[in-house]
Amino acid sequence: MLVTLLAAALLGQTPAKARAYTVHDQVALRRLLAFKVSPDGARIVYQLRTTDLEANKGLIDLWLINADGSNPRQLTTAPEPDTDPVWSPDGRSIFFLSARGGSSQVWRLSLEGGEPTQVTKSPIDVDAFVLSRDGALIAFAAETFPDCESLDCTKKRLDEKAKSKATGRVYDQLFFRHWDTWKDGRRAHLFVTKVAGGPIVDVTKRLAADAPPKPFGGAEEFTFTPDGKALVFTARDAGRAEAWSTDLDLFVTPSDGSKPPTKLTTANRATDTQPLFSPDGATLAYLAMKRPGYEADKLTVVLRDFAKGTERALTADWDRSAHAVTWAKDGKTLYVTADDVGQVALFAVDVASGAVTRLFNQGSVGAVDASTGKLVFALDSLLSPVDLMSLPLDGKGAPTALTKVNADLLAGVKLGQPEQFSFAGANGDTVWAYLVKPTDFDAKKKYPLAFLVHGGPQGSFGNHWHYRWNPQAYAGRGYVAVMVDFHGSTGYGQAFTDAINGDWGGKPLEDLQKGLAAALAKYPFIDKDRACALGASYGGYMINWMAGVWNEPWKCLVSHDGNLDEQFAWFDTEELWFPEWEHGGTPWENKDGYQKHNPIDHVAKWKAPMLVVHGGKDYRVVDTQGMATFTALQRRGIPSRFLYFPDENHWVLKPANSVLWHETVLGWLDQWTKK
């Protein structure tokens, strides 16, 4: 009920004649993406994304509010995104990233008046940055050719390549392409310079690795030591094994580049990530996994006495995987977010004892700040996009809404009501699921079903407002949406997550089958004869698997970026550690692991109409997997359609493409369920 009350407070009461939620509402929503609280706790800066439909892109600007949520005002209006705000230590100005000058650089905006001024003068784009505690130094990430002695050398080489008529590239090891980008020989390196200006020093030039790691590492992966004399950062220094290694390590290097980086986490061959110093600077907190090669292993909070080098696994006995950590102002508590039974909850961890207390678990908690005597955090749910909340440090009482960034856009929109339920799944284990009712819900009517299968597979379809796979888009179209957190999902203990390893089409399929049966038994308004199933990534694989081994009662299926052939998928993907862990080695070492639940072996039993969707820049699940799926459907004479996005990756991000995706998918469901 708390989430419902929060949504009402954020969005306002729904008018009696409200209209149903649509994809056009979804692409128009403002997105609160990041925030920082001022050093004195009096103000909060946040970045807000709005959609420019004509330009087919998002516009990101900085906004400022008082700590009580009053007086919101827009700070920047550049045509290029202004992102990643950081306060100066005196709280009188804000540093941020912007390409307003034609290249992505760090800029500074004085809150005492005037226009932003450029801080960094890098000849190539700056990708992320952090400040030293005294505000004198800035460290930034940029992509450079490792053999170049300066950024000017990299710029010159890029200019020469742009002029060359030859387009071929030569590669000597894997990761020649990653996520959605072809490599060109550059590495992400870290550079340090004075805020006031001066020489730019590459402090990682002796390291043959990306720092921060690709493809998603940012400013959370590097930080100055409290005295500013060194930089602690994360990198995967694995050489030619980079494509099949999850061994991220923490390194330390002098800020002046006088010595090569030194590895801090030499004992652990699995992931170490997100270093963050305590307020007094004595302790370094970070997150660590234990099992090499497993990207979904539990992340444990580790504390390192930085002077002595001794370490303590603070949350070793806590059966949750931490997303991120935030220090309390006094350094006695760490605030941690983690998936928790369909929520992303907020926890307090006592630094001395490791005792964990759940503070809030209604919705999905994002970034958290506890630096000024209260908790400020981002929160969304199935009933509300992201807004900022505040809560006492002890978590007592209901959170106070600080922003209402979409109140006007959703004031006339009616949303479907969510409900969480559970059932006995595989092995008799309790499995949880969510149902979202149609917006025009009438208990006396029957409604078609949209059965959504999440990706990952180590993920969750929980109490979260999704900007791509949002159950409200189906509820607004008159569907009941059901989402099952099958074995392999996160937030139910590490053993539950691990249960999918080597069993992709086993226990998860059983959970989905039993989840559907439980939903039909519990909710008589679901029309079992008008059901379609949809999924992306692992969910797309599962749709392909279901098409052959569970092809009733589906009137239609939607497979987005899903593998058809698990064995060949090893050969055409990029992050090899993922299939090698999930299927127990390489295809020649354990062919049975890849063939055990391989959709391609059951194509002869396919019969349900299927829509196939794929992105041309998806190098995780390569587009030929989608093309092969469509080829099999067409050759077998099964009603089918192929929606292809040449300019999208594993996700559909552009506003116009999102509209097309939803219209095509919902039209496909309508075609087979609403005759």
Active site residues: 537, 618, 650
Q: Do residues 76 and 109 lie in contact, with contact meaning Cβ atoms separated by under 8 Å?
A: yes
Phi, psi of 213 (to 5 degrees): -65, 150
Q: Which among 592, 587, 582, 591 has a CA at the least distance from the CA of 570?
A: 587
* Strand extents, DSSP E, 307-415: 311-313, 322-327, 333-340, 343-350, 356-360, 364-369, 375-381, 384-391, 400-401, 413-414
Burial 614-648 (b: 16+ CB within 10 A, else e): bbebbbbbbbebbebbbbbbeeeebebbbbebeeb
Q: Do residues 485 and 432 lie in contact, with contact meaning Cβ atoms separated by under 8 Å?
A: yes
Paired tokens of 346: 């907020």
Q: Is residue 198 exposed (0-12), middle (13-18) or buried (19+ Cβ within 10 Å)?
A: exposed
- H-helix segments, 304-448: 407-410
Distance CA 506, CA 266 (A): 37
Q: Which among 520, 522, 534 has a CA at the least distance from the CA of 455?
A: 534
Q: Cis bond leading into 385, ω under 30°?
A: no
Paired tokens of 455: 């990706």
Q: Which among 576, 652, 573, 654 has a CA at the least distance from the CA of 619?
A: 573
Distance CA 291, CA 281 (A): 29
Torsion angle of alpha carbons 500, 506, 507, 508, nearest 10°? 70
Distance CA 346, CA 608 (A): 42
Which residues are within 8 A (CB) of 54 and not within 5 positions of it... i.e. 6 or more apart? none
For 287, 373, 509, 535, the CA distances from 270, given in Å and listed in that order, are 11, 35, 30, 30
Angle of helix 507-522 relative to helix 538-549, nearest 10 degrees, comes to 80
Pairing of strands 447-453, 526-536: parallel
**Residue 112 CB neighbours (<10 A):** 7
Distance CA 243, CA 229 (A): 33
Which residues are within 8 A (CB) of 487 and not within 5 positions of it... i.e. 6 or more apart? 425, 426, 429, 431, 496, 499, 500, 503, 507, 508, 511
Token pair 């103000």: residue: 43
Pairing of strands 262-263, 249-254: antiparallel
Distance CA 401, CA 379 (A): 9
- Which helix (H) or strand (E) element contains residue 249? strand 249-254
Distance CA 372, CA 272 (A): 28
Distance CA 351, CA 348 (A): 9
Distance CA 652, CA 626 (A): 15
Distance CA 341, CA 498 (A): 16
Q: Do residues 339 and 485 lie in contact, with contact meaning Cβ atoms separated by under 8 Å?
A: no
